[in-house]
Structure 1
């Protein structure tokens, strides 16, 4: 029986349209950014895309002025948009997203992000 686990690895983390995270503003106050993470299997070629939103409590509060209910979805909430802190958070989550195959790993990552093949039917 093979007990090896697949370990995901972050290849890149950018804004939704390939922006450098340091160029996204504001860093504090009201903000919401969609981020794009390319994640693959450590030691192998290729990567899949996962997206998630990073927003501030102030942004959520302002949205609640227009909508009585907001879905939680794949959203990280933070008071300050700090690219290094966000990247470290993603890397830490990936350390705990191992599995026997890529589908299991991607499903675990999909608990806090949107996988590009999430709704893909074989």
Structure 2
């Protein structure tokens, strides 16, 4: 079984409509709707796409932080981020959806995860 991203959504803005005011210092919460390649059904996996500048600002303001489910890139480019994530997700295979979903949960926060 193979996973594919069937769509991307934004938690606040839609990724296709978002224009960053400062691409070197920004973040975007991206939802990946992922399902089996040749079957219906999807699960949501959330990932924070951010820049080192944004991350530095967050830690300056809020102090040290433990983070998961984050993609860091030099400048915020959602098209490039989506292409990267699509390639990574499509590399994953497993005998069943549950095993693939566990692997995907290392990339993004799975809606069925605690």
Aligned-pair CA distance for 1:72: 2.2
Gap runs ≥5 in structure 2? none
Aligned counterpart, 1:49: 44
TM-score normalised by L of structure 2 = 0.90
Which is greater in Rg? 1
Summarize the alignment of residues 1-122 of structure 1 with structure 2, pairs less than 5 Å apart.
6-17=1-12, 19-26=14-21, 28-119=23-114
Question: Does the Cα contact within 8 Å between 1:8 and 1:39 map onto a contact in 2?
Answer: yes
| Stretches (4+) displaced over 2 A | none
Aligned-pair CA distance for 1:118: 1.2
- The alpha-carbon distance between structure 1 residues 39 and 117, as it changes in their structure 2 partners (threshold 3 A), is same
Partners of 2:108 and 2:38 lie apart in 1 by 23
Gap runs ≥5 in structure 1? 1-5
Aligned length, in residue pairs: 114
> In structure 2, the residue corresponding to 1:13 is in which secondary structure?
strand
Question: Does the Cα contact within 8 Å between 2:15 and 2:78 map onto a contact in 1?
Answer: no
Aligned-pair CA distance for 1:18: 5.9
